[in-house]
Amino acid sequence: MHDLVANQRSFFETHQTKPLSFRLRQLNHFEQVLKAHESRLLEAIHKDFKKSAFETMATELGLVYQELKLAKRQLKHWSRPKMVKTNWVNFPAKSYVIPEPLGVALIIGAWNYPYFLSLTPVIAAMAAGNTMILKPSELPSETSKAIQKMVLENFDATYFHVVEGGAATTSELLKQKFDKIFFTGSTQVGKLVYKAAAEHLTPVTLELGGKSPTFVTASCNLKMTVKRLVWGKFLNAGQTCVAPDYVLVHQSIETQFLEACKAEIEKSLYHIDRHNYVQIINNQHFERLVRLIDKGKVYLGGGANKAERFIEPTLLKGVTFEDAIMKEEVFGPLLPVIPYTDISEILEKVRLLPKPLACSIFTNNTQERQQILRELSFGGGTVNDTVMHLANPHLPFGGVGTSGLGNYHGEAGFKAFSHFKSILHKGNWLELPLKYTPLTSKKLWWIRQILKL
């Protein structure tokens, strides 16, 4: 590990990764490599958790290509020094900010969208001119292997390398000195990464999780709400970091809402081809989820098949904040529904939980929407939809508080892997004598004028 990092640092210090032409060439190369390996990547993810080619293209590789294309198109603009104003005290001068790559970046991926979550930060790091060591999640083992094979065959290890392994390997990696650590995963492991980074004062981006609420207010368009909510919740069998973790529905429409959700789930999910229905990632998560199903509160579903690691899309009714399912991130196809009567009261309860990664607000009432946006802190979210803010690369994506630190996607990703060097560039044709001795009262008067004191 030490040699791997040292070799990447030596390569970085040759400055070869910095020119725009090099970075564009690598992005183009990466796009070609991805295309050439596409069928192998699709096969690997299906072996890991039965994710279909359609879903993998729509929710993983499609988004990776989108990031690549945006980075290639915008890189020249992102990389330009940005002029800023200069104040009178510094006259005559101009001021600008130059982006520069941080150096050797470590990227640690999570398992639930193994391609998107590992490769999107790589694109950002590459665009900014870093060298990269990627450690994909070991849980989808075929996917991790496929990523490693693709990278090892097509990139020099001194520039971009993949290390496979779990907690022990990651801990070894974290002992090394990196110039940037980008981590996606749980809040618990995020804290370990933050501690390890502090040892070397390495800057971090932490993309973590949490319980993301969904508000369904009395004024919402119920038909549209249910369609979009059911899709976003049960996508990837509920194993999506920004998926609605629980629903807060206005009591006046609770029955209608539950009936409409039931109808939508039965129509769109109960007849799908099980060969292509995403599985729960492993037995441990399967058993954890089964334990969270309170049989007395099941409104729909609740069935599970261990051999297939399949859990029916499940609606739970009459859930309270005291229930076990409200004490941890669900991260599976279980949707607890909690009725509320007063928006201020329910917001108070939600604020007692850690700040979530996402929030979905289904409403046609401006005041309610503004109140939720003003009073609840969360990473990012959607109004009248779920999940989809993640698919807009122009929106910085990240959490707040225990759901994360920093953000990425599009230009925000480029910034996450860059340092912005501030330069005051002085002209030589004039030097005001004010700051030099003798420090007279006249000069003090001038300083007061200039500083408007």
Q: How many CA atoms lie within 13 A of 126 on its CB side?
A: 27
Binding residue (CB under 6 A) for ligand NAD from 99, 185, 301, 302: 185
Q: Of the candidates 91, 80, 99, which has an alpha carbon nearest to the alpha carbon of residue 424?
A: 91
Segment interacting with ligand NAD, rule: CB under 6 A, options 38-46, 82-90, 151-159, 162-170: 162-170
- What percent helix, strand, coil does the chain show, rounded to 5? 50, 20, 35
Q: Which amino acid is at 243?
A: A
In whole angstroms, what is the distance from residue 30 CA to residue 65 CA? 10
Nearest residue (CB) to ligand NAD, 108 versus 133: 108
- β partners of residue 426: 93
Under rule CB under 6 A, residue 283 binds ligand NAD: no
Distance of CA 341 to the CA centre of its chain: 33
Under rule CB under 6 A, residue 241 binds ligand NAD: yes
DSSP string of 169-203?
A: HHHHHHTS--SEEEEES-HHHHHHHHHHHHHTT--
Closest distance to ligand NAD from the beta carbon of 436 (Å): 53
> Quick check: is 261 catalytic?
no
Binding residue (CB under 6 A) for ligand NAD from 20, 24, 189, 373: 189
Segment interacting with ligand NAD, rule: CB under 6 A, options 36-44, 91-99, 131-139, 440-448: 131-139
Distances (CA, A) of 247 to 10, 365, 402: 51, 18, 20
Q: Which amino acid is at 395?
A: L
- β partners of residue 116: none
Considering only residues 60 to 99 of the shown chain, the ones binding ligand NAD according to CB under 6 A are none
In whole angstroms, what is the distance from residue 82 CA to residue 96 CA? 5
Q: Which residue is nearest to ligand NAD (CB)?
A: 209
Considering only residues 312 to 331 of the shown chain, the ones binding ligand NAD according to CB under 6 A are 329, 331
In whole angstroms, what is the distance from residue 191 CA to residue 189 CA? 5
Under rule CB under 6 A, residue 391 binds ligand NAD: no
Under rule CB under 6 A, residue 106 binds ligand NAD: no
Nearest residue (CB) to ligand NAD, 86 versus 186: 186
Under rule CB under 6 A, residue 353 binds ligand NAD: no
Segment interacting with ligand NAD, rule: CB under 6 A, options 46-54, 82-90, 182-190, 254-262: 182-190
Under rule CB under 6 A, residue 199 binds ligand NAD: no
Under rule CB under 6 A, residue 264 binds ligand NAD: no
Nearest residue (CB) to ligand NAD, 96 versus 194: 194
How many amino acids of this chain bind ligand NAD (CB under 6 A)?
Answer: 27
DSSP string of 302-329?
A: --EETTTTEE--EEE-S--TTSGGGSS-
In whole angstroms, what is the distance from residue 122 CA to residue 302 CA? 39
> Quick check: is 241 catalytic?
yes
Are 317 and 261 in contact by the 8 Å Cβ rule? The answer is no
User: What token pair was written down for 437?
Assistant: 């001795």
Distances (CA, A) of 280 to 239, 296, 382, 440: 8, 23, 26, 76
Segment interacting with ligand NAD, rule: CB under 6 A, options 29-37, 186-194, 250-258, 296-304: 186-194
Under rule CB under 6 A, residue 118 binds ligand NAD: no
Closest distance to ligand NAD from the beta carbon of 113 (Å): 6
Closest distance to ligand NAD from the beta carbon of 426 (Å): 43
Under rule CB under 6 A, residue 254 binds ligand NAD: no
Under rule CB under 6 A, residue 133 binds ligand NAD: no
Under rule CB under 6 A, residue 226 binds ligand NAD: no
Under rule CB under 6 A, residue 109 binds ligand NAD: yes
Closest distance to ligand NAD from the beta carbon of 183 (Å): 7
Under rule CB under 6 A, residue 221 binds ligand NAD: no
Neighbours of 270 (CB within 10 A): 11
Under rule CB under 6 A, residue 142 binds ligand NAD: no
Under rule CB under 6 A, residue 378 binds ligand NAD: no
Binding residue (CB under 6 A) for ligand NAD from 313, 393, 399, 413: 399
In whole angstroms, what is the distance from residue 453 CA to residue 451 CA? 5
Under rule CB under 6 A, residue 208 binds ligand NAD: yes
Under rule CB under 6 A, residue 48 binds ligand NAD: no
Q: Of the candidates 393, 331, 326, which has an alpha carbon nearest to the alpha carbon of residue 113?
A: 331
Neighbours of 209 (CB within 10 A): 27
Would you please indicate which residues are annotated as catalytic (active-site) residues? 207, 241
By CB under 6 A, name the binding residues for ligand NAD: 108-112, 117, 135, 137-138, 166-167, 170-171, 184-186, 189, 192, 207-209, 241, 329, 331, 357, 399, 404
